[in-house]
Amino acid sequence: MSTRSTQAVQALSRFGELAWFKLPAEYNHVFNYYQVPYMGWRYKSIRQGLEEVIEDAVKEPATQLEWILDRTRRNWILLPRRVHQEAGGLADPSFSETIHSINTNDQEFCLKALSDIDLIIEMINQISIPKD
């Protein structure tokens, strides 16, 4: 697990036990390019009301790109708005094609997104968890 993934898991685990987590590698050594990051996770259980706290933390840092946290499905997905818009949504089969297209054609976007996701993970790790 990469340092970024470890930090993300630690930050998200402060709010509840994770059942699943995914954050693709930042660099694809086979094709020699940086990859646009997106982060997915699911909690086994989360204390009521903390969903909004996490959602607010994602919006807090001054990022270079616009990000969205999609909680409409079982897994929560954090991704750049551009990916969501170009893929036509998370359930669309073109999601992986959109990611691949951005990876191969827009390295500047990928690098901005990687920088942003570090800020977002840091913010999630720093927010105080409300007491019951």
DSSP code string of 25-63: -SEETTTTEE----EEEEEEEE-TTHHHHHHHHHHSS--
Considering the domain boundaries, does residue 116 fall inside one? yes
27-45 burial: b if 16+ Cβ within 10 Å, else e: eeeeeeebbbbbbbbbbee
pLDDT > 90? residue 67: yes
Split at pLDDT 50, 70, 90, the class of 73 is confident
Whether the Cβ atoms of residue 50 and residue 95 lie closer than 8 Å to each other: no
- pTM check: above 0.85: yes
Considering the domain boundaries, does residue 73 fall inside one? yes
DSSP bridge pairs for 27: 34
Q: Output 90 or 2, whichever has higher pLDDT.
A: 2
Considering the domain boundaries, does residue 132 fall inside one? no
Q: How far apart are CA 119 and CA 38, in angstroms?
A: 13
Full residue range of the structural domain in which residue 51 is found: 3-126
pLDDT > 70? residue 132: no
Q: How far apart are CA 43 and CA 24, in angstroms?
A: 19
Structural domains counted in the chain: 1
Considering the domain boundaries, does residue 69 fall inside one? yes
Considering the domain boundaries, does residue 131 fall inside one? no
pLDDT > 90? residue 49: no
Query: Looking at residue 92, what is its pLDDT?
Result: 76
